[in-house]
Amino acid sequence: MSVSQAQAASEGVISLTSAHLEQALALSQVINWPYRAEDWKFALDLGHGFGVEAGDKLVGTALWWPYGKDFASAGMIIVSTDAQRQGIGGRLMAAMLAAAAGRRMILNSTQEGRPLYTRLGFEPYGVMSQHQAVLAKVPAIDRTVRVRPVCPDDAHALHNLDQRASGMDRKNLLNALFGVADTVVVERDGDVTGYGCVRRWGRGVVIGPVIARDQADARAIIATLASAYEGGFVRIDVTGESGLSPWLAEIGLPQTDQVISMSLGKPPEPLPGAVLFALSNQSLG
């Protein structure tokens, strides 16, 4: 779809503002998505949103986040159950594609959303597995991996590390996360080689992003972050390539869902030396 076609197809779409957040939250609650009002505000403040109204009622939402000049992530795409099959999802997507013109876009799709995204030219390139539960017992921490709290001097190294692992410039996302999350890093021979965040989100906390050089370091980061939440609800979304799903199930975080990672244009290309093991959450990537 060209930019002009997308603009035409998005007629009737409005910009989402903070005034819409109460209704947006209600839309997500109807379909049992676990967002809090604070999660909606965080996401909208970080990116851009579109909506569709029927009268004065919000019946559809879609948000997108620019990652540098080359990429964007899309998510929180919801159409009210009583307004489906009216082309609203397509209009919201058209508005996002027009606004993000020139960027390659990624998203994580449910099975229900995949036909629409496929029609628009998105192609699958991976899977994401959702793991969550009340954490009955803190997992063992590998003390041979040096995990320490983040410090201000780490910021530049973390931005570079994240860009290598994600293949995108996500500096704005990281800066926002560091303002609300507890963050730890792995340090080896004086160099920061991994990091992870945990923050209040949804029904409890979400662990992510997690970036590390290998599985052992990723597990040490996750166990360290989870150690403060015994008896609490913990969620983590990991890539299919991470290989972490069996271990997460072993420590009491079973897989509860799986979504398809799709891209419009060539997906991001990570560089060697750092691996994206877990997302900040499915929408933000």
The model's pTM = 0.93
User: What's the confidence (pLDDT) of residue 172?
Assistant: 96
Residues 6+ away with beta carbon under 8 Å from 160: none
Could you report the average pLDDT of every consecutive run of 10 residues in the chain (285 residues)? 46 91 96 95 97 93 97 96 87 96 96 93 97 96 95 95 98 96 95 97 97 98 97 98 97 97 97 96 93
Domains of the chain: 3-102 (3.40.630.30), 130-278 (3.40.630.90)
Phi, psi dihedral angles at 2 (to 5 degrees): -75, 170
Distance separating alpha carbons of residues 277 and 235, to the nearest angstrom: 14
User: What's the confidence (pLDDT) of residue 83?
Assistant: 78
CA angle 137/196/168 to nearest 5° reads: 145
User: What's the confidence (pLDDT) of residue 7?
Assistant: 45
18: which 2 tokens? 């903070």
213: which 2 tokens? 């050089």
Residues 6+ away with beta carbon under 8 Å from 64: 47, 48, 49, 72, 73, 74, 75, 96, 99, 100, 105
